Homo-oligomer: A and B are copies of this chain.
Amino acid sequence: MDTKELREITSRDVDFPKWYTDVCKKAELIDYSSVKGCMIIRPLGYALWENIQKELDKKFKETGHENVYMPMFIPESLLQKEKDHVEGFAPEVAWVTHGGQEELPERLCVRPTSETLFCEHYANIIKSYRDLPKKYNQWCSVVRWEKTTRPFLRSREFLWQEGHTVHATKEEAMEETKRMLNIYAEFCEDILAIPVVKGEKTPKEKFAGAENTYTIEALMYDGVALQSATSHYFGDNFARAFNMKFMDKDNQEKYMYQTSWGMTTRIIGAMIMTHSDDHGLVLPPNIAPTKVVIVPIGKNNDEVLAKAYDIAKELKLRGVSVTIDNSEKSPGFRFAENEMKGIPVRIEIGPKDLENNLCVLCRRDTLEKVRVELPDVEDEVIKLLADIQTSMYVRAKTRRDSMTKSVLTLDEMKASIEEQNGFIKAHWCGSLECELKVKEVAGVTSRCIPFDEDNKDGKCCVCGKPAEHLVYWGKQY
């Protein structure tokens, strides 16, 4: 592969979906196999997921959650116990019908989500208020039999974490539901530099079996929204279906209150579609597996290479992951290759630089270069990484805000979305009818009712009746 071929990715302004797939493939995040609709997550893609896991898992444990592992199979009869839940999931599951040579007495689905197994387990192990709360999480893969698939965004199998908790009271369960949504939001903003809108799903869009679904919604470069994580409050819906009772302090038998919440490998897709460009991947320093690449220039220059090792050693001591790319390829090729892989900072150093006690820092987000004194290089790199992280967030937020419009009527909404994709803020009366009408006329769906409804008073953009909510609408991934 020469530099030209490497650089030859579709421009994101010409064909965004094709650009996205090109980046996923050429940055070596994923590959395909003979397993239709599933993807191979390659080392760089998986290293991103490992870093995501590390950050989230730390937050989960700090807030008192424990990890467990449930079976990947769910008997059909168990899946059917909660009515809305089975209606939501049964049409898109994979069914195991044979074990070895024998047909199974009851078919098993490969888990699309594990509420039913957690419910059965909780009913089994919890007797008294002393056993509550139980706050479990699991990291695993799940399967949903999608017709059309795209890397990270929609795949028949994907990786995720699913938290499932049970509590003695409504209030505590609701508090947990919102706490976890906030953890997701902070993670997206602080680590992935993705600005999100926190809010609640309309009844039509909520999770199968939930009483309330909370969501964080991000806006991609092309103005299409991406649901980045959800947190569900179940009330006692599942508890009633699965007979999950406990003896409370007052000696009364009561149903438990329950939550679930999840984030998936989809978020890697969100990161790509928020930050990356026509040179390939752009990774926020806080999640990048390798933060710095050093490219020594000039052949057979032992002094340059020795300096590169010195810098790498010092950066590692300061906790910065760094690699040296000293391959035989031309500097131009190596620049392009490391840009494609999204490494936040590149240090270029050649014989002449060394003579002048200088080197060049190139930041991946803007591709700007600055010359710095060699004795300052580690300090400058650390400052630059912090600056890139902040700049990426600010840039994404500015773009998101510029693509967020407020409208009063359905006609305005239609005109706005025809002009440019983005978030549309418009009032809504709360009826399913008007929600469906919006979809029919403007081609967008409700993304969420934001927590900070800055202007709740208004009239429904469809029927003109007094509004119940301000809603974010948009196209969605």
Contact = CB atoms under 8 A, between A and B. Distances in A.
Contacts of A95: 96-99
B136 A43 contact: yes
B93 A110 contact: no
Nearest to A92: B100
Nearest to A32: B124
Interface string A133-145: 0001000110101
Given A95-B98, A110-B96, A71 B33 contact: yes
A141 B138 CA distance: 13
A145 B68 contact: no
Contact of A40 (B68, B77, B101, B157): B68
15 contacts: A31-B124, A35-B108, A38-B73, A39-B71, A43-B67, A47-B66, A50-B67, A71-B157, A72-B141, A73-B157, A92-B100, A93-B99, A94-B96, A96-B97, A99-B145
Number of copies of this kind of chain in the complex: 2
A83 interface: no
A67 to B, nearest CB: 5
A432 interface: no
Given A35-B73, A99-B145, A68 B93 contact: no
Contacts of A141: 69, 72, 140
A71 to B, nearest CB: 4
Interface in A90-149: 91-101, 107-108, 110, 117, 120-121, 124-125, 136, 140-141, 143, 145
Given A78-B34, A120-B33, A124-B31, A68 B97 contact: no
A6 B376 CA distance: 63
Nearest to A39: B71
Contact of A71 (B40, B47, B72): B40
Contacts of A67: 43, 46-47, 50
Contacts of A159: 69
A75 interface: yes
A110 to B, nearest CB: 7
B143 A72 contact: yes
A75 B35 contact: yes
Interface string A80-94: 000000000001111
A242 to B, nearest CB: 11
Interface string A50-70: 100000000000000011111
Size category of the A interface is: 35 or more
B74 A35 contact: yes
Contacts of A145: 99-100
Nearest to A142: B72
A38 B97 contact: no
Given A35-B74, A41-B68, A99-B145, 14 more contacts: A33-B120, A34-B77, A35-B75, A38-B71, A40-B68, A42-B68, A46-B67, A50-B67, A73-B94, A91-B100, A93-B100, A94-B100, A96-B97, A140-B141
Among A71, A110, A121: residue with most chain B CB under 10 A? A71
Nearest to A90: B100
Q: Which 9 A-B pairs have the closest CB atoms?
A: A38-B71, A43-B66, A99-B145, A41-B69, A35-B71, A95-B98, A100-B145, A97-B97, A94-B96
B93 A40 contact: no
Interface string A149-193: 000000011010000000000000000000000000000000000
A70 B33 contact: yes
A146 to B, nearest CB: 9
B121 A31 contact: yes
